[in-house]
């Protein structure tokens, strides 16, 4: 009896453990089956599906091949317009009368020489190919009264142009002097050729002189002020001889220069070279300190707002030498040089 009790207890105790082991084995078998790739559709289905499961394979329509890229011929670049050649009728010519210096007289003639930003007014031009030989005016001394204004302060001065030549060589001198303001003298020396004046040396003196030397064999201008050399162009003039050259060109055939005609040439100063373009304004009768004169007016318009404007009146009775020269700065300062008398040098 005592031996059986433990056996019964042992059997009762072991029964739950056997059930747990059996359940664990079933769960382990299911888990292994899942890991082994068992397909659930192979298991029997207790209730049939109301609709059969239909699977379809949808094939995407073929994508048409992309058309080969069209070869587009490159559009030809438009031809760059070539600058029109200068008209046969245009002469080369130009230059200011006075160079910048420190005195009151000099200050009103200052002009910088930047590249032109504005275009000059349209104008006809004279034809050099058929132009007659210039007629150089005879030797003459012209005296002027000079009226000026600097910083709204008016003043007067005297000026004299001395022009002399022997048919082969020439010398020109323009001197301006004013009481308490000092003086300034410009000189030009050179040769007379079938084309007109051919300067050799140009000098400008206030306290000391600076000069430009025309080296025709080297094709350049050399400045004594140690400024850069300038290329020498055909027909070049200096800032004094240019007025005589203008007179010589127009005197040869005045009818070739109607209103609107443009004349342009290189003008050399004591420190640099520039190009001046004059436009013929037309005939004008002036009442000057020395009396009335019939004149032909020329104007050098400003290329920039701060440029010096030059107005020039040439008198046929004096071989088209200037009887009035007016220089005006953008701030209103000016020199107005007017004919008073003339005679032999």
Q: Is 44's pLDDT higher than 80?
A: no
Burial 101-138 (b: 16+ CB within 10 A, else e): beebbbebbbbebeeeeeeeeebbbbebeeeeebbbbe
Q: How confident is the model at residue 43 (pLDDT cuts 50, 70, 90)?
A: very low
**Distance (Å, whole) CA 311 – CA 314:** 10
CB atoms within 10 A of CB 250: 24
Taking a C-beta distance cutoff of 8 angstroms, is the pair 243, 233 a contact? no
Q: What is the mean pLDDT of residues 180-208?
A: 95
For CA atoms 98, 211, 197, 141, the dihedral sign is positive
pLDDT recorded at residue 125: 52
Q: How confident is the model at residue 18 (pLDDT cuts 50, 70, 90)?
A: low
- Estimate to the nearest angstrom the gap between the alpha carbon of 6 and the chain centroid: 124
Task: Please state which of the ranges 35-39, 196-200, 245-249, 253-257 shows the lowest mean pLDDT.
Answer: 35-39
Q: Is 201's pLDDT higher than 90?
A: yes
What end-to-end distance do the CA atoms of the chain give, in Å? 176
**Distance (Å, whole) CA 320 – CA 337:** 16
Task: Tell me which range, 67-81, 99-113, 142-156, is most confidently predicted by mean pLDDT.
Answer: 142-156
Burial (Cβ within 10 Å: 0-12, 13-18, ≥19) of residue 202:
buried
pLDDT recorded at residue 179: 76
Q: How confident is the model at residue 64 (pLDDT cuts 50, 70, 90)?
A: low
Q: What 8-state DSSP symbol labels residue 318?
A: G
**Distance (Å, whole) CA 325 – CA 338:** 7
Question: Which residue did the predictor score with more confidence, 288 or 3?
Answer: 288
Q: Is 177's pLDDT higher than 70?
A: yes
Residue 120 token pair:
């000059």
Task: Tell me which range, 123-137, 237-251, 301-315, is most confidently predicted by mean pLDDT.
Answer: 237-251
Radius of gyration in angstroms for the set of CA atoms belonging to the chain, rounded to a whole number: 51
Q: What is the mean pLDDT of residues 118-139?
A: 67
pLDDT recorded at residue 23: 52
The SS3 of residue 255 is helix
pLDDT tens-place string over residues 95-119: 333 333 344 344 434 443 333 334 4
Residue 64 token pair:
């048409």
Of 166, 99, 173, nearest to 143 by C-alpha is 173
**Distance (Å, whole) CA 120 – CA 279:** 9
**Distance (Å, whole) CA 270 – CA 206:** 12
Of 201, 208, 186, nearest to 102 by C-alpha is 208
Q: What is the mean pLDDT of residues 83-101?
A: 36
pLDDT recorded at residue 304: 86
Q: How confident is the model at residue 67 (pLDDT cuts 50, 70, 90)?
A: low
**Mean pLDDT of the chain, nearest integer:** 76
Q: Is 268's pLDDT higher than 60?
A: yes
pLDDT recorded at residue 311: 97
Task: Please state which of the ranges 67-76, 207-216, 242-251 shows the lowest mean pLDDT.
Answer: 67-76
Residue 4 token pair:
């059986």
Q: What is the mean pLDDT of residues 186-210?
A: 97
pLDDT recorded at residue 212: 98
Start-end of H helices in the chain: 4-35, 104-107, 241-252
Q: How confident is the model at residue 343 (pLDDT cuts 50, 70, 90)?
A: very high
Report how far apart, in Å, the C-alpha atoms of 66 and of each of 61, 70, 127, 213, 249 are. Answer: 15, 11, 66, 76, 76
pLDDT recorded at residue 170: 98
Residue 80 token pair:
């760059």
Q: How confident is the model at residue 143 (pLDDT cuts 50, 70, 90)?
A: very high
Q: What is the mean pLDDT of residues 4-24?
A: 47
- Considering only the C-alpha atoms of the chain, give the largest distance between any 2 of them, rounded to a whole number of Å: 178
pLDDT tens-place string over residues 269-327: 999 999 999 999 999 999 999 999 999 999 998 888 888 899 999 999 999 999 999 99
The SS3 of residue 333 is coil
Task: Tell me which range, 40-49, 104-113, 187-196, is most confidently predicted by mean pLDDT.
Answer: 187-196
Q: Is 189's pLDDT higher than 50?
A: yes
Task: Please state which of the ranges 15-29, 254-268, 325-339 shows the lowest mean pLDDT.
Answer: 15-29
């Amino acid at each position: 009896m005592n031996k059986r009790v433990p056996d019964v207890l042992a059997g009762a105790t072991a029964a739950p453990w056997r059930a747990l082991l059996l359940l664990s084995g079933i769960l382990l078998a299911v888990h292994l089956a899942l890991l082994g790739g068992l397909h659930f559709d192979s298991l029997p289905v207790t209730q049939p599906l109301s609709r059969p499961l239909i699977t379809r394979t949808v094939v995407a329509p073929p994508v048409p091949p992309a058309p080969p890229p069209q070869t587009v011929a490159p559009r030809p670049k438009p031809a760059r317009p070539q600058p029109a050649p200068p008209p046969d009728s245009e002469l080369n010519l130009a230059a200011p009368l006075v160079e910048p210096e420190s005195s009151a007289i000099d200050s009103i003639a200052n002009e910088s020489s930047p590249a032109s930003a504005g275009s000059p007014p349209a104008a006809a031009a004279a034809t050099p190919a058929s132009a007659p030989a210039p007629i150089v005016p005879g030797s003459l001394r012209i005296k002027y009264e000079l009226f000026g204004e600097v910083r709204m302060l008016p003043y007067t001065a005297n000026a004299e142009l001395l022009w002399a030549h022997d048919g082969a060589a020439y010398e020109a001198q323009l001197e301006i002097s004013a009481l308490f303001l000092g003086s300034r003298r410009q000189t030009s020396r050179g040769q007379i050729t079938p084309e007109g004046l051919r300067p050799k040396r140009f000098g400008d003196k206030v306290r000391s002189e600076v000069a430009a030397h025309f080296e025709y064999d080297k094709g350049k201008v050399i400045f004594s002020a140690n400024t850069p050399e300038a290329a020498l162009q055909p027909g070049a003039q200096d800032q004094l001889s240019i007025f005589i050259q203008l007179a010589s060109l127009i005197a040869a055939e005045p009818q070739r220069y109607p209103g609107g005609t443009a004349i342009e040439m290189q003008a050399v100063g004591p420190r640099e070279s520039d190009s001046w373009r004059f436009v013929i304004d037309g005939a004008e009768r002036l009442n000057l300190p020395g009396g009335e004169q019939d004149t032909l007016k020329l104007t050098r318009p400003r290329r920039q707002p701060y440029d010096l404007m030059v107005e020039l009146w040439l008198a046929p009775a004096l071989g088209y030498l200037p009887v009035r020269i007016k220089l005006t700065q953008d701030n209103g300062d000016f020199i107005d040089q007017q004919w008073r008398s003339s005679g032999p040098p």
